[in-house]
Amino acid sequence: MVESTETHQNEEEVRLRKLSDLAAQNIETYPNEANRTHTIGDVLSSFDGLLANTTSVTIVGRLLNARWHGGSAFADISDASGKIQLHLRKDVIGEQWYLTLKNFIDHGDFLEISGTAIITKVGERTIEVTAARLLAKALRPLPEKWHGLQDTEIRYRHRELDLIANSDVRDRFIVRSKLVSAMRKFLDEQGFLEVETPILQPIPGGANARPFITHHNALDSDFYLRIAPELYLKRLVVGGFEKIYEIGRCFRNEGIDYAHNPEFTMMELYWAYARKNEFVDFLENLIKVVIQSSLGSLKVTYEENQIDFEAPWAQKTFRQTILDACGIDIDLCPTIETVVAATRAKNLTIDYSGATGLGEHYDTLYKKTARVTITQPTWVFDYPLALKPLAKVHPTDPTKSASVQLVVQGAEVVNAYYYDLNNPVDQRQRFIEQQGLREQGSEEAQWMDEEFLQALEQGMPPTSGVGIGIDRLVAFITNAASLKEVILFPTLRPITHE
């Protein structure tokens, strides 16, 4: 367990030589199995009993460091459940193995350790080692200052090093896993059926987004990575499933920033015959349950704000959020020209150059003025109809859609239609309008999907639907400043190896 003084430039060569020397001594360097009797967490939780009974245990894990003092040494070892100190003595494990460990084992190597529990003079819980075995030789050293790795480039490209170095990173992904498990459990208990739909799709649909394109050689056809599972899930509702959901990867060929990653995880759900208030209450309960189950609290600190997910949450309309934020009433701005004029009249500097059509102008105004002001969980109802081509028209306002989003800390977490569009004639007309936007240059407008329309023409019952971005929700509840912190392997620019 030498603390090598060689530079990292040649330490890999040193470790390779050690690997060869161990093999020459007929010491297995990568045995097939370990003989663990306890995790480190088990040892720590039952330490007093193990100490009293001098029970022998066998633990496994990665060697973190070692401090040598003549014929004895202290070292630290960790597994997924925790970390514990080791005490090694030449007169206990034998001189040959003591020297082997000292001269040929490095930090980062995986070991199998047998021994008994002791308390050191300074009161630290420790394993007195009686036997040791190498489980896997690490041929690369951990990065400098690995115990506090901060270099984000290394952290994101080599998440394995990040997980080794930073316990808070491991904890964040444990929260994520618990959240997804709690979501599945809640939905299953509510009678929803989990299904799977295609990732490779001939027509990308279900959201306004730019897709990734690929080519299938055997079929000699272009396909698209799905931007959402929505249209296929609705076809299953047509087929007779009344309560279904899917948790899976979606892909959107868009920019990468703190709130966007081209590859992300979505939970999408459809519930036939649900009523508006019943559906919104159900969604509130779902979010509350998964946060409480994964975090143990409904109060979350994000940056400098404390976000309280205790329901009921505030409710506002899309129109009202803009009116409150900047004084512009979109109901008095029925054209692109009037939106731009109202913006100028309020002395607002907003770039509409990337917006195509009235709906995208409303959306730009909303995102720049209103959404950024929302911190606490807030339901924003009734988005302009042009922004929701798959939602029904609002029952009393033909310019609005029967939609609602949950906004937290200035970002959308939940996107729902309390009345999904099930009229095939209306849906066809919406697709035609979207196709017109595409012809005007919009890269995010939706495509005409004849197979979906044919399914809808078979009849779909009144249905409510929702999409929840798992990454964003986890980012909020774990105080992650970027989605890269909650995606194990985020999308990064490839490294060019010359």
Dig out the tokens for 258 from the structure: 């703190």
Give residue 6's pLDDT. 44
Q: Each residue of 12-25: pLDDT tens digit?
A: 999 999 999 999 99
Report the distance separating Cα 84 and Cα 102, nearest Å. 19
- The amino acid that residue 377 corresponds to is P
Rounded to an integer, the average pLDDT of 72-83 is: 95
Report the distance separating Cα 216 and Cα 453, nearest Å. 25
Q: pLDDT band for position 5 (50/70/90)?
A: very low
Give residue 259's pLDDT. 83
- Provide the percentage of residues in the chain whose pLDDT is more than 90: 83
Report the distance separating Cα 56 and Cα 496, nearest Å. 51
Q: Could you give all domains of the chain from N- to C-terminal order, each with its CATH number?
A: 8-141 (2.40.50.140), 164-313+376-485 (3.30.930.10)
Question: Cα-flanking dihedrals φ and ψ of residue 260, to 5°?
Answer: -140, 140
Give residue 415's pLDDT. 94
Rounded to an integer, the average pLDDT of 295-322 is: 93
Residue 88 CB burial class (10 angstroms; 0-12, 13-18, ≥19)? buried
Rounded to an integer, the average pLDDT of 27-32 is: 96
With 50 as the cut, is the pLDDT of residue 236 above it? yes
The per-residue pLDDT of the chain, averaged, comes to 93
With 70 as the cut, is the pLDDT of residue 7 above it? no
Report the distance separating Cα 393 and Cα 421, nearest Å. 8
Q: pLDDT band for position 3 (50/70/90)?
A: very low
Label the pairing between strands 56-69 and 314-317.
Answer: unpaired
Q: Which of 160, 65, 140 is nearest to 107 (CA)?
A: 65
Question: Is this structure's pTM higher than 0.85?
Answer: yes
Pick the range with the lowest mean pLDDT from 67-71, 126-130, 365-369.
67-71
With 50 as the cut, is the pLDDT of residue 90 above it? yes
Dihedral over Cα of 12, 14, 17, 21: its sign: negative
Report the distance separating Cα 396 and Cα 413, nearest Å. 26
Q: Each residue of 380-399: pLDDT tens digit?
A: 999 999 899 889 999 999 99
Q: Which of 412, 418, 318, 392 is nearest to 359 (CA)?
A: 318
Burial readout 167-202 (b: 16 or more C-beta within 10 A, e: otherwise): eebeebbebbebbbebbbebbeeeebeeeebeeebe
